[in-house]
Amino acid sequence: MTYLIAMNDGQTRLTIILIYLGLLLFLGFFASRLFRGTRDDYLLASHSIGPFLLLMSMFGTTMTAFALVGSSGEAYKKGIGVYGMLASSSGIIHSLCFFVIGVKIYRIGRKHGYSTQIQFFRDRLDSSFIGLVLFPILVGLIIPYLLIGVMAGGGVIAVMTAGAFPEWATSGNGGIPAQYGSLLICLVVLIYVFFGGMRGTAWANAFQTTVFMVLGVVAFVMLANRLGDGDSFVDSLSRITQQVEYSKLTRANMSQTLFFTYMFIPLSVAMFPHLFQHWLTAKSANSFKVPVILHPIFIMIVWVPCVLIGVWASSLDLTNVKPNDVLAFLVNDKIGPVMGGLLSAGILAAIMSSLDSQFLCIGSIFTNDIVTHYLGKDRFSDRGQVWIARSFVIVIVAVTYVLSLQGYRSVFTMAVWCFSGFAALFPLVFAALYWRGLTVYGAFSGILAMVGSWGYLFWKSDFGANTEFALHPFGKSLPIMPVVAIFLCSLLAMVITSLITKRPSDETLAKFFKT
Amino acid sequence: MKLLIWLLVAALIIFHQDFWNWNSQTLYFGFLPIGLLYQMGVSIAAALVWWFACTFAWPAEIEDFEQEPAEKGGKA
């Protein structure tokens, strides 16, 4: 503690961040001590995850930089409507996906021994080629999602360590430059995923979810007291709220049709490959009940404080602060360095609890769906397959890091485009589970329609640079989210093509449907 | 029971739109805008609906499956 006092504020926060990252590494190493050496254990924790860990790991995985950094940044710009637009809608739709898709995937996945989505679709549609079509699409959509985390992590470290090294101030803010912060985050996640596999990831997620939920609430209380400076906590809340302009406390600046069509975005969780893998780690189907029920409440606990902090920030003079950095800036500026360091650890926890699952899932997809599928499962021992997965995790971390150096994009906008692509694949997974009539050509058509319409609209939005991009099929006053058009293109192409092409064999259908 | 669950989910989606509080400036407890408080209520209602679904409409086929032996390995 004496040593902490001797340091400047930036160095104190940096020390706390490093201690936190060290704890994560320790957790990863500890999980690796329980590693049984098998592929099933590395990728799926030997289906040993009970209700609590499943809740924490699924929640931690779905809450990203988007939830903390993006929500506060977006609320700073648009006001309280951000909560209804994405958080409460996610509470309804995510749990719906866990209940309708997740539980059924768990049953089928356990019965047939799947580890990845592609294995399921190959068997269900009786087509090896569908895997080759899905592989680049799933990886291509996951990479922007990974970039969101890596870039936001670097940004948070840069802001939170400002002034740690005054001699660097000529080239920046005297803190760890964002690119080095991103590198640090990548290395820590890589190490605990590499050694701990899915078990390490689930434990780290549970730990990190607890950290960011607790510290998020603590940040909320401390910031309210500092910003409001009232006689009591409620008085402080009231004072700071009085300073916020009217439009930020209502949805006056928000379109009702955009608000409604945002409801399509959370459907993306049904097709997240990393979530698919988490579903298969469950010890039993009953393990799903707790996550299904508590997910909306957990979302509320995380999002309400972040949205309110973002709204309060809109009443302050933060001209030179990017919206993504609002939360980190306020914590840095208004709260003492020790608490600031702990809160930065909380923000990083939310970011890393998604990155780990995504890195691991890409390693799993490559190992299962490319290497062992085409070269033969019997050519590799269990340990060999674990090493292939680990090697691909290293490659994908390196690729993601290099891509993250290419420049700044709004966390919120990037996430929305990425989620739109996954959401438009919802009809495919739903039909695969509930509609015997889905054919392989129907699936191809749906996927290609998604890629074509997504690519066209992404191009029209200047590759995400136009953050207000929307469609206007019902006139200028009724904009809708691009995801609606992409979703409908995918759905119609899939259904129409399936109706005119040949179904999979009865033998194949019998594996997935009751006769 | 399944139909009831679907109706409840549809009701959640309709109530979530909350057009009726769109421009309301009402603050509860002096700091909580009605638009936010209402959506927090939607989150709590969602948890209750999913508790109801898990308690009364848990898929029977899942219970059957728990008794079945698992096959080993997919097509990889």
- pLDDT tens, position by position, A233-263: 999 999 999 999 989 999 988 999 999 999 9
Looking at A7-126, list the stretches that DSSP marks H as alpha helix, in order from N- to C-terminal side.
9-33, 39-44, 51-62, 65, 71-78, 81-82, 89-97, 103-112, 117-125
Q: Is A409 on the interface with B (CB under 8 A)?
A: no
Q: How far is CA A343 from CA A154, A299, A350, in A?
A: 15, 18, 11
**C-alpha to C-alpha distance for A171 and A167, rounded to whole angstroms:** 9
Instruction: Tell if the CB–CB gap between B44 and A300 is shorter than 8 Å.
Output: yes
- Residue A237 and residue B29: Cβ atoms within 8 Å? yes
Q: Which residues of A touch B68 (CB under 8 A)?
A: 111
Among A113, A250, A293, select the one facing B50 at the smallest CB separation. A293
A115 touches chain B (CB under 8 A): yes
Closest-CA distance, B21 to chain A, in angstroms, reads: 8
Contact A267, A93 (CB under 8 A): yes
Interface check for A460 against chain B (CB to CB < 8 A): the answer is no
Return the residue of A nearest to B37 by Cα.
A304
The amino acid present at A151, given as its one-letter code, is M
pLDDT surpassing 80 at residue A1: no
Task: Return the pLDDT at B68.
Answer: 56
Helix axes A9-33, A178-228, angle to 10 degrees: 110
Could you give the CA distance from residue A255 to residue A81 in angstroms, rounded to a whole number? 10
Q: Assess contact for A309 and A220: CB atoms under 8 A.
A: yes
Is pLDDT of B62 > 80?
no
Residue B8, chain A, CB below 8 Å: the answer is no
- In 3D, which of A277, A234, A309 has the Cα closest to residue A44? A277
Tens of pLDDT, residues A97-112: 999 999 999 999 989 9
B64 touches chain A (CB under 8 A): no
Measured over the CA atoms of residue A153, residue A354, residue A67 and residue A134, the dihedral's sign is: positive
Is A294 in contact with B47 (Cβ distance < 8 A)? yes
In A161-288, which residue ranges form alpha helices assigned H by DSSP? 178-228, 233-242, 246-249, 256-261, 273-280
Nearest residue to A141 (alpha-carbon basis) of A416, A418, A362: A418
Work out the average pLDDT over A167-174: 68
Please give the pLDDT value at position B63.
59
Question: Residue A220: how many CB atoms within 10 A of its CB?
Answer: 17
Q: What is the pLDDT of residue A208?
A: 84
Q: What is the pLDDT of residue B72?
A: 47
Distance CA A104, CA A137 (A): 23
> pLDDT band for position A15 (50/70/90)?
very high
Strand, helix or coil for residue A49: strand
pLDDT, mean of residues A280-291: 90
Q: Do A119 and B25 make contact, defined as CB atoms within 8 angstroms?
A: no
At residue A326 the predicted structure's pLDDT band, cuts being 50, 70 and 90, is: confident
If residue A388 lies in a helix (H) or strand (E), which one and from where to where?
Answer: helix A382-404
CB A433 within 8 Å of CB A120: no
Contact A92 B13 (CB under 8 A): yes
Q: What does the pLDDT read at residue A337?
A: 83
- Quote the CA–CA distance of A129 and A127 in Å, as a whole number: 5
Are A114 and B74 in contact by the 8 Å Cβ rule? The answer is yes
ipTM: 0.88
By C-alpha distance, which of A413, A425, A411, A409 is closest to A481?
A413
Q: What is the pLDDT of residue A140?
A: 87
Of B35, B47, B66, the CB nearest to A250: B35
Establish if A94 touches chain B: CB-CB under 8 angstroms.
no
Mutate to test the interface with B, among A251, A253, A365 (most CBs of B within 10 A): A251
The pLDDT confidence band at residue B74, using thresholds 50, 70 and 90, is very low
Spatial distance between the Cα atoms of A465 and A409, rounded to a whole number of angstroms: 7
Using alpha carbons only, what angle is made at residue A267 by residues A261 and A273, rounded to the nearest 5 degrees? 145
Amino acid at B45: A
- pLDDT for residue B73: 46
Q: What band does A82 get if pLDDT is binned at 50, 70 and 90?
A: very high
The average pLDDT across A475-483 equals 91
Cβ neighbour number for residue A63 with a 10 Å cutoff: 27
Q: Where does the pLDDT of residue A137 fall: very low under 50, low under 70, confident under 90, or very high at 90 and above?
A: very high
pLDDT given at position B66: 56
Identify all chain B residues contacting A252, using CB atoms and an 8 Å cutoff.
22-23
Q: Which residue has the higher pLDDT, A219 or B53?
A: B53
Question: Are A119 and B75 within 8 A, CB to CB?
Answer: yes
- B22 CB near a chain A CB, below 8 Å? yes
Bridge partners, residue B33, by sequence: B27
Given a cut of 80, whether residue A67 has pLDDT beyond it is no
Question: How confident is the model over A394-421, as pLDDT tens digits?
Answer: 998 998 898 888 765 555 677 788 899 9
Average pLDDT over residues A465-472: 87
| pTM score, whole prediction | 0.90
Residue A67 sits at the vertex; the CA angle it makes with A75 and A344, to the nearest 5 degrees, is 95
Averaged pLDDT of chain A: 88
Are A88 and B39 a contacting pair at CB < 8 A?
yes
Closest Cα in chain B to A366 = B76
- CA dist list (Å): A476 to A61, A456, A471, A473: 37, 20, 9, 8
Query: Closest Cα to residue A390, out of A355, A357, A364?
Result: A364
pLDDT band at B76 (very low <50, low <70, confident <90, very high): very low
Which stretch of A350-364, A427-441, B29-43 has the lowest confidence by average pLDDT?
Answer: A350-364
